Chains A and B, each alone.
Chain A
C-alpha cells in the first residue's frame, strides 16, 4: 500500500469518526496526518528530467578482469530531494568494488558521478539504463524513471599463443604462406628433381643426379608453401558439452577454438568460424587482425544450446566451406558423429578433430571408487575405439585431456617437426 493511500484512509476515517461522534478530538487526531499529507504533496518534484552517460574503462577484456564503469547523472529538471539510482547490470556481471546503487540528493542542473568495478565470465554484455526512483521529502510521491545510458562490454575468451599448427589441406590459395601446397616451386622442403631450366639459380642444381647424364642438368625442386582456407567448427550442442553438477566442457572448446583461430590467422590463412549450437553462427572467412576480432566477438557470444535440428552433425552446412579446404572440428565427439565426419572426408575436406576428452573430464570431479573407475575404463575404451574408427577414415584426431594446457598438447601433437627430424624421415 502506498503511503499516500494509507494516510488518506486514516485522515478520512478520523474525519468521518469526528462527524459521526460529534467529537472535535477526532479532528484534532487527524490534523498531524493532514499536515504530513499536504507537506508531502507540496514538496513533490514537478519536472523530472534526468540524463545519464556511461563510460567503461575498456570495451574488450578477458574473463575475470576488472572493468571500471563510470556513470554520470545530470539533473535538467527541478530540485530532487531523494533519488535512488540503480545501475542495471547485465546478468552474469558482478560488482567487485564499489556500488551500483546510490541514494542521493540532486539539486537542479547538478551532476552526480559514481563508479564501480565489475567482473564477469566470457560473453557480450550490453548496458542499457539506469533506474531512478525519485521521492519527495516524505516519500508521499514516488516516481520511477529509466534513464538511457548505453554501453557495451565484450569479454573475450583467453587466447593461448600456439607457435605453429601443422595442417595439410588438399587445396591451398595462391598467396605465399606456411602450409605445404603439394606443388613444386620455391620453398624450404625438398619436393623432387626436374630438368634444369634457364633462370634457375645454380645452387638449385642437383649435381649427383646431373652426373648420370652427359647433356642434361637436373635441379632440385622445393615444395611451395601457401596459405589455405580453414573452417573452424565449434560444437556447442548442449548434450555434448553439459555434464552433471553443472560442469561444462564448452569453455575448453571455446579456448581451443580461440587459440587455433589466432595461430592460423597469424600464419596468414583465411579462417572462418561456425558455431554449431541451438542455431548456426557463421563468421565469413577472412584474413588478419580484423577477422581475428570478428571471430573473437563470435566466440564471446557463443553459448551451448540444444535444438532438434542441430542435435547431430547431419545438418552441418558444408557448402559454407570452400571445396577441399581444411576443416577443424572442436567437439567432444560422440558415436553418432562418425558418419557425418566420414561423409565430409569423402567430399574431399581435410579434417582435424580437436576433441576435449569428456570421459577424463567427468572422472576428474566424480568421487573416486571402484564403480566409477570401472565405468570410466569401459567408456574410455569405447571412446578409444571410436577415435580409432575416425582415424581409419583418414581424419586427424587430437584427443585432449583438458587437465593439460592446450598449447602443450598442440605443441606435442600438431606442431611441425624441426627440419632435421623431417630430413631423417621421422
Chain B
C-alpha cells in the first residue's frame, strides 16, 4: 500500500514537473524530469533510501526554477507536493522494513497515509489560497516586513513546539 502510494506520489511530482516544462516549450528538461522519477523509483527498489532526499531537493529546485521562469504555477506546486509525499513515503517504507511480519503493518500504513494525505491536502489548499488571494495595495516594504514576521513567527512556533 505504501509502495503504491509512494510510486504514485513520485509520478505525480516528476510527471507534473515534466508536463509543466513541456508546456513551457522545454521538452529536454521535461524528459530529464521524467527520468528523475524513474531513477528515484529504481533507487528505492535497490534500497538506496538516501536518494529520496536528493530526489526531493532536485524536484523542488526544478519547481523553483519553473516558478522563477513563470511556468504554470499549479504544475510546479503539484510537483513540490508530489516530491514531499514521495520523500515521506520512501522514509516510511524504510521504517516499515524494520517491522516484524507479525506487526500491524497494514494498520500503521493506513494511519500514516491518512495523516500524510491530510497534511498534503491542507498544504495544497493553503498554497492554492495564497495564489488566489491578491492584495494589490500592499507596499513592498510592508510585504517584506510581513514575510520576515512570518519567518520569525514560524521559527518561534517550531522552537516552542519542540520544547513542548
Interface residues, chain A, CB within 8 Å of chain B? 1, 3, 6, 8, 10-12, 14-15, 17-19, 21-29, 31-39, 41-42, 44, 46, 81-82, 84, 98-99, 101-105, 114, 135, 137-139, 141
Contact = CB atoms under 8 A, between A and B. Distances in A.
A21 B66 CA distance: 13
Contact of B77 (A28, A81, A104, A105): A28
Given A102-B99, A103-B100, A104-B103, A141 B162 contact: yes
Given A38-B161, A138-B119, A22 B98 contact: no
Contacts of A37: 158
Interface of A is mostly: helix
A138 B73 contact: no
B104 A39 contact: no
Interface stretch (B3-11, B30-38, B143-151): B143-151
24 contacts: A10-B57, A15-B147, A25-B67, A25-B73, A26-B67, A29-B63, A29-B77, A29-B127, A32-B80, A32-B81, A32-B124, A32-B127, A35-B126, A36-B88, A38-B161, A41-B161, A98-B100, A101-B99, A102-B100, A102-B102, A104-B104, A135-B95, A137-B112, A139-B95
B68 interface: yes
A353 B129 CA distance: 90
Interface in B136-164: 140, 143-144, 147-148, 150-151, 154, 157-158, 161-162, 164
Contacts of A3: 91
A44 B31 CA distance: 40
A33 B123 contact: yes
B122 interface: yes
Interface of B: 53, 56-57, 60, 63-64, 67-68, 73, 76-77, 80-81, 84, 88, 91-92, 95-96, 98-105, 107-108, 111-112, 115-116, 119-120, 122-124, 126-128, 130-131, 134, 140, 143-144, 147-148, 150-151, 154, 157-158, 161-162, 164
Given A14-B64, A39-B119, A138 B76 contact: no
Contact of B123 (A19, A26, A35, A42): A35
A84 B98 contact: yes
A10 B64 CA distance: 11
Contacts of A105: 104, 107-108, 111
Contacts of A17: 64, 68
Nearest to A12: B151
B2 to A, nearest CB: 12
Contacts of A31: 123, 126-127, 130
Contact of B108 (A42, A82, A114): A82
B24 to A, nearest CB: 14
Contacts of B57: 6, 10
A3 B91 CA distance: 10
Given A24-B130, A103-B99, A103-B108, A29 B67 contact: yes
A168 B100 CA distance: 59
Nearest to B164: A46
Contact of B100 (A15, A22, A39, A99): A99
A103 B95 contact: yes
B108 A21 contact: no
Q: What 7 A-B pairs come out closest when comparing CB atoms?
A: A32-B123, A99-B100, A103-B99, A41-B161, A35-B123, A28-B127, A31-B127
